[in-house]
Amino acid sequence: MAALITLLPGDGIGPDVTASARQVLDAVAERYGHDFSYREALIGGAAIDEIGNPLPDETIEACEAADAVFLGAVGGPRWSDPNAAIRPEQGLLELRSILGVYANLRPVRIYPELAGASPLRAELLDGVDLIVVRELTGGIYFGEKTRTSDSASDLCEYTSGEIERIVRVAARLAEGRRGKLCSVDKANVLETSRLWRDVTNRLLGEEFPGLEVETLLVDAAAMHLLSRPAEFDVIVTENMFGDILTDEASMLAGSLGMLPSASLGDSRAGLYEPIHGSAPDIAGQGIANPCAAIASAAMLLRHSLGLEDEASSVESAIADTISGGARTADILAEGETRVSTDQMTAEIIRCLS
């Protein structure tokens, strides 16, 4: 098949890991007879530096014309002043809204060989295979904001329709997995969470009566992610809670550098990115872990291009590479040999079936 993929390398290690993802996509195209073309555009701090806008019109155009969009990372200390009128993250938030990608899928898979990289005891990690479905275009990140010299406010707002569509995504995923769905809210305090719980309970009862459903307050969910992570299958939650919980869940895998994400809407043209940040302290040094970016490319193949065999091949190649002992600095244990970003990428390509 032919596909146009827009690449947004962004800031810090974003260009490093985006290059790795592209190499793997090119290898997939060659081995399976596809034709992938690319268009590169600016976002985040790089866009601010060049034209003063974190999401240029040219970038929006390139993303809207693509079959899928791949993002490296945005942000860094150069643009970290919280009082700045223009910030890199604004570009990413606006892009998510423009593309209508309201469902953020963040799978957490544990590679047995990396159990020692996690701060949790190895026995707690046995059997961990979960996915967090985070609502991505509503809530406090997108609500009205006010600021005076001595006060500030951020409005958290959800509609029933926004809640219904994200819960349906999560429930359908759960139906295809182990049939377990956990909804996370803060209904003991927040009105938005009370609406979330009411809508979720009604929809699941009407449309997905066969699912095993658990409801947790977000603070309890944070605790149980560390005390019983293997019991979770699919977790669905609102924007800010999902942002925090998925970063916590990344520690189950031992490193942010291992976990991918896909942001999907009602069209097939999704937005794919590793969940890690821009890590500017190691940018350009050839030591960043490309696994999360490459796994995000696998999700791109699956969800936007409909290439399940190719996606599974990439995921298997990552697993085989880890099993074979390749380790970047973030997942390196004592006595193991460190490989570079390029070496890890090349090994994954070699393991492609």
Secondary structure (DSSP) of 39-62: EE---HHHHHHHHS-SS-HHHHHH
Query: Is 219 in the active site?
Result: yes
Strands of the chain (E only): list them: 2-10, 35-40, 68-73, 103-109, 129-135, 145-147, 152-154, 180-185, 212-217, 234-237, 262-264, 271-272
Q: Which of 26, 129, 154, 247 is catalytic?
A: 247
Neighbours of 333 (CB within 10 A): 11
Q: Which of 49, 219, 281, 309 is catalytic?
A: 219
- What are the strands of the beta sheet with 180-185, ordered from one edge? 35-40, 2-10, 68-73, 271-272, 262-264, 103-109, 129-135, 234-237, 180-185, 212-217
Tokens of 208: 């997905």
Unique residue bearing structure tokens 């307050």: 217
Q: Which of 141, 158, 185, 330 is catalytic?
A: 141
The C-alpha atoms of residue 187 and residue 241 are separated, in whole angstroms, by 13
| Residue among 198, 217, 188 nearest 160 (CA) | 198
| Residue among 281, 275, 287 nearest 327 (CA) | 287
Q: Which of 186, 233, 272, 330 is catalytic?
A: 186
Query: Is 272 in the active site?
Result: no
Q: Which of 102, 243, 272, 330 is catalytic?
A: 243
Q: How far apart are the first and last CA of the chain?
A: 19
The C-alpha atoms of residue 132 and residue 261 are separated, in whole angstroms, by 10
The strand pair at 234-237 and 129-135 is best described as parallel
Query: Is 243 in the active site?
Result: yes
- Specify burial of residue 329 (Cβ count, 10 A radius: 0-12, 13-18, 19+): middle
> Which residues carry out catalysis?
141, 186, 219, 243, 247
